[in-house]
Structures are given as C-alpha cells and as structure tokens.
Structure 1
C-alpha cells in the first residue's frame, strides 16, 4: 500500500508516507476475518451472545476491508505496468490458492478433486473480486455519480438471478464499498480521528450489538455475506430492497465507528498490517485442518472458556502467519513473480530501478 525499495520484502521498513492508522486498521480487520471464520464453526442455538457478536463483526468487517481496497486503488489507471502488478499481486495468488484449497477440500472433506478457477473456493472469492473491482476503477472515475450508480447495481444484483462464477454476486453486491473507497480522501479519514467521533462510536457498537442479540439468529449469513438474491432469502422484492438499504445504513455507521476507534499511532500491530495477505490466504487452511481433527467439537463442548481460547488462538495465528519466517517460506506462493517470458524485454531489464516491487503494489491494492 505504499512503495518500498526493490530489495525489500513485504513488511519491510515502512516508508515515510505510509499511515500507521491504515495499517492498524488492516491488521484489526484481518484479525476479525479470522475470528469470524473461527466463530462460525462453534455457533449453536445455545450461543446467542456469540451469534450476536458474529453478526456484528460480519456487519462491517468485509465492507471496511473493501473500502480500504478502493481507497488504495485511487491511482489505478490501467497502465501496462499496473496491470502486470495486478496480475502478480492478485490474480496469480488467486489461481495458486484456488488450486491449493481444491486439494485441501479434497483431502480433508473428501470432495471431488476439481480445480475450477471460475468458481472460487472458500475465501479465495475475495481475490478474484478485488481483481475485477480494480479493473473497473477507470470506469468509476469516468462516470458521474459513481456511488449512487454502484448502489443501484448492488441492489439490482440481489433481485436478479446471477451465476456464481467469478463470485459475481459478491462482486456486484459489495461494489458500493469499493467505489466509496475510491471517492475518499485523507481528509475524510481525518474527520473520524476526533474525540467526538470516538465517543459516538462506542454507543453505536453497543446499540448494534443489542440489535443483533435481539434479532438473533437473524439476519442470516446469506444477508451478511451478500451472495444471495431475494428468492433465496425468501422475501419479496420490496422487502429485499428495504432490508438491504437498512443494512447499508447500519454498515456505514459500523465502518465509520470502527475507523474512529482504530489507533492512529504506531503500535506493535502496525507492521503486521502491511502483510495481511499472508494470514488471509493461509489461515483458512489451518481452519480446515482444525475442523478435520475435531478441534471445534472440543471447543463447543468446553463452552465459554473454549470460545475464549479459540478467539485468542485465532488472533495468535494471524500474528504468527505475519512473521518474517512464515513469509519467507510462503513468499513464492503468496507473492509469485510473473514469468520473465511474459514481461516485455525492455521493461524486464529496467524494472529493478524503476518499477515498484510486486509486494509494494500489492500493499497499494489489497487492503488486507
């Protein structure tokens, strides 16, 4: 999300223009992603509080993630060098981990081994969605009223039968958050960095948690994951539109409140926020392994203490997967290089001196 020297890897020393606030936000969001994926394995009808916390987190963590993706995509114009970095920073990791997750699901869940890059497996949907969102950036810069237009597209996607190929339902339904990120500027974030905003954020979270507890077990995961149309959700067209608009409003409040509470100074988690692609892609594999060996059954039987241990473990795993040793081993998979024969000769020769590294560009494009 900012440039680094050609010899620096992901998580290398921060450059002066890099904002600790944004890196802190990214780390907290990837931690919430891992927590959410862990909690959903142990939620039962007898855990209404956990269900409410889960719904609260799912109400804002992906929209906030996507908003930051849009914010860091503001400079994208579709230049050849940007396209190449998008290929190495997003598309190639997607293809690699889509293949890896296909094998993981085959070995651990016994599913048929089928590598289907047009049908994302588990959390890989986010990478292909980011690839498509980023490619459309010039469009949103070219049209008037991009945010209202994206909201119309998002609502229309939920009232239309759309194929799940390339995660299109989520690509379209989450689109407004990416477009909103494109429209934001540093001064917009600065308005949230006030004591008043932080004081407002606390009751907002408390109020939405109370609402989530009262509505539990609703809204269902299908509403919050934005991948189901009104027929799947079994509501009328009018009901669907009203609920989606209400969710937009609540999510906007939660995203703003979350950003208001994010620390603005450098902390121990700031550096980890620069390398969130590693824990994002890798933690899902560990979750599936834990599921296979019955770890979540043990957590469910342990009750509240088990959930607390699970939560601490999930955050610890995110930290561990962000460390230099793990990144050194996994770099060829998470940060693959474009084959030299695909790079124009002149640019391949001059790249080290003039073109930011794939890691640097990824940190500009991927907010997590």
Structure 2
C-alpha cells in the first residue's frame, strides 16, 4: 500500500524503505521513477479504500458482494507483487535494516497504537486492548512486509523459491495452531506473492502490458464477475482474506492447500489483467503514487470513524446510488490523503529521521574519511602552489 520510502508497494527504482530518495533533488528523483509503478500503486490504493467502504454496505447487494470478491482477489496481491519486485536489492546491510525499522516498524507501532486508542474512545470500547502482537485492521500489512523483507536474502538463495513459498502457504492453511499473533496466517499465506515479486524482472511487467493482454483482460474480468456473482451464496468469502486455516472456517483440512493454490492462480491472472490496464505514461495521479502509504494508513480512520458513528446505517446508502456515492467519496478522500501537503504533515511519523538510534555504517565512515583526506591534500597543495 505508499510513499516511495516506506509504502507497501515500493517506490519505482528504489527498494521499499529506502527513504533517501525523498532528500534528493526533485528532478533527479523524477528521472529515476517509473510512471507505471506509481500509477499502479495509486489505482491499487483507491481500490483498497473503496473495497473497505463496501464492507458495511455489501450485505444488501449481491452485485456489490461479487465486485467486492473480485477486487479482494487481486488488489493486495498486486501490492505485494510490486513490493517483492522492489525488494530484490535488500541485503540486510546496516543502512537498509535501519531504513526498514524507520520506514516500517516505527509506523506500525504508531498506527497500531493509534487505531487501538481510536476504537477505544471513538467507538466507546473500553475493552479494546493495546497489543503490538495483534495487528488491528490495516496494520497487519506492515508486520507482513517487515517479516517478508527480513527473509528476502533467504529467498534469494533458494533454488526454487516460489514452489517453496507455495508449500509454506499451503502448510499454513492447514495449521490453525499458528494463532493470531502478528497475523502470521496472513504473513505466510500471502508470502508466495512477495516471493513471486522477488523473482520477476522488468520484462515480465512489459509482457503483461501488451495490447493483446489488455484486450483479453476484458472478458477475463467479465467472467470473474459472473463467477463471483454465482459464488456469493455458495462460497465463504473469508478465503480471500487469508487470515484463517481451513479448519477455522469449518472446511476439511485438505481444502486449505486446494484453495490456496486455486486462489493463487486466480489472483495471479487478475493481477496481470490489472497491470495490463495501468497506464505507463505520466498522468495527473502519477505523483500520488509516492504517497500511497499515507492514504493506506490514514483512510482507515475515516472509514472506521463513520462505521463507529453509524453513518453507514442510513438506508439510502444501501441503494445503488448510495453505494456509488460512497465509492466516489472514498476514492476522492484517499486521493487527497496521498497528496504532498498530507505527506508533509505526517512525515514525522511515516518517515522519522532517527540517525541517533543507529550506529554509523563503517563503510560510509571510511568513505567520509577518505573524502576528508582528499580535501585536506588539495588544500595543502593549493598552499604550496601559492
């Protein structure tokens, strides 16, 4: 989900968490960015927010439930694939570990605390516990991203990483004893998409953006919507959340691996179709792709606040025009939350500068000493010549 540095879908040309881009001149940064990935991040975060707004409304509409099911099949996989793609350069060096802490761990602690307190006081829920081990609402993704990023060097050394990741996800789907700590079920069941991103190369994204794929994506999405409409009363939608084992959903254990593989295939096809429709040129919304972490983490307060106050209970919102109005309003709201003014206000939380918390990298110190020595030699040379 996000700003170039710490967004769930990372900034083009930079691995997730490398916030040094923000401090480079704007012209250099724009040259290094790929408009396709910024556009994809922006469109995906809009889908995430809109789908979240459908949750309290979809019970009255089979069509909306079908659309919700289709969107949930690919919006998070798309984020995760891009996150994995831009995580290929993570090597667990001190500098990158530090940026992982400031770009992912610190926002997690802040927003996990903020969301828990928000529910306790706005929803009048004094029993709401504050626990960093039990991610609330949106914050599970930050936990997952932190764990996936830390394991990146391991996946880069495995001979066949994607089959191994699929095996891990399948085992998780039949292991209810994993529990809810750190939302590990989601971490493990969504893992194959991250590992797939690590395995991809730029030409793979160019492959799905061909005209033939864009055309084929139309009937694919049409079939997906029709199937979802048929499946609404027949299928447990919780499968798309990947947060429970099969047994916890009342299914036999063998359904876990079967659904895991089936959903991975379906999500992969829909994600490829989504990417095929993402424009590759610079648009008015391209710059907003650098602020998707802000939109992701902040829009939850708007939706949860509306839900806690009962605003979604109004009858007219449960009619087609009301559902469209809510979708449009949320799309506008999350767009505004990705803008530079919002980024400037919340940057101290999303991208804190914490040099005081980390040791200086030995290689960096050596380079600085070398540069200082060169300057000193140049200064002495100038004095001698004078």
Q: Same fold (TM over 0.5)?
A: yes
Aligned to 1:78: 92
**Cα pair 1:96 1:333 within 8 Å, conserved:** yes
Deviations 1:304-358 (A, max 9, x none): 1111110001110111101222122111122222251x222577x97xx9xxxxx
Closer/same/farther in 2, CA of residues 98 and 261 from structure 1, 3 Å limit: same
What is the CA-CA distance between 1:219 and the residue it aligns to?
Answer: 3.4
Deviations 1:13-51 (A, max 9, x none): 54323111111110011111101110011111x300000
Aligned to 1:47: 61
SS in structure 1 at match of 2:251: coil
Structure 2, unaligned runs of 5 or more: 1-10, 369-386
Aligned to 2:116: 102
Deviations 1:260-292 (A, max 9, x none): 111111111111011100000000011111112
Closer/same/farther in 2, CA of residues 346 and 60 from structure 1, 3 Å limit: closer
Aligned to 2:50: 35
What is the CA-CA distance between 1:7 and the residue it aligns to?
Answer: 8.6
Closer/same/farther in 2, CA of residues 27 and 11 from structure 1, 3 Å limit: farther
Alignment of 1:324-339 (within 5 A): 324-338=340-354
Q: Distance in 2 between matches of 1:297 and 1:11?
A: 48
**Cα pair 1:68 1:181 within 8 Å, conserved:** yes
Structure 1, unaligned runs of 5 or more: 354-368
Aligned to 1:316: 332
Q: CA RMSD in A?
A: 2.3
Aligned to 2:278: 262
Closer/same/farther in 2, CA of residues 251 and 7 from structure 1, 3 Å limit: closer
Q: Distance in 1 between matches of 2:217 and 2:257?
A: 27
Q: Distance in 2 between matches of 1:201 and 1:174?
A: 23
- From 204, 215, 233, the equivalent of 1:199 is 215
- From 129, 133, 142, the equivalent of 1:114 is 129
Aligned to 1:172: 188
| Aligned positions, number | 350
Closer/same/farther in 2, CA of residues 282 and 11 from structure 1, 3 Å limit: farther
Q: Which has the higher contact order (CA 8 A, sep 6+)?
A: 1
Alignment of 1:1-368 (within 5 A): 1=11, 2=13, 8=22, 14-44=29-59, 46-111=60-125, 112-161=127-176, 162-298=178-314, 301=317, 303-338=319-354, 340=356, 342-345=357-360
Q: Distance in 2 between matches of 1:81 and 1:23?
A: 25
Q: Distance in 2 between matches of 1:214 and 1:99?
A: 40
What is the CA-CA distance between 1:301 and the residue it aligns to?
Answer: 4.6
The structure with the larger Rg is 2
What is the CA-CA distance between 1:70 and the residue it aligns to?
Answer: 0.3
Closer/same/farther in 2, CA of residues 203 and 7 from structure 1, 3 Å limit: closer
Q: Distance in 2 between matches of 1:10 and 1:334?
A: 18
**Cα pair 1:90 1:127 within 8 Å, conserved:** yes
Aligned to 1:361: none
Closer/same/farther in 2, CA of residues 160 and 113 from structure 1, 3 Å limit: closer
Q: After alignment, is 211-220 or 100-109 more displaced?
A: 211-220
TM-score (norm 2): 0.85
Closer/same/farther in 2, CA of residues 141 and 233 from structure 1, 3 Å limit: same
SS in structure 1 at match of 2:130: coil
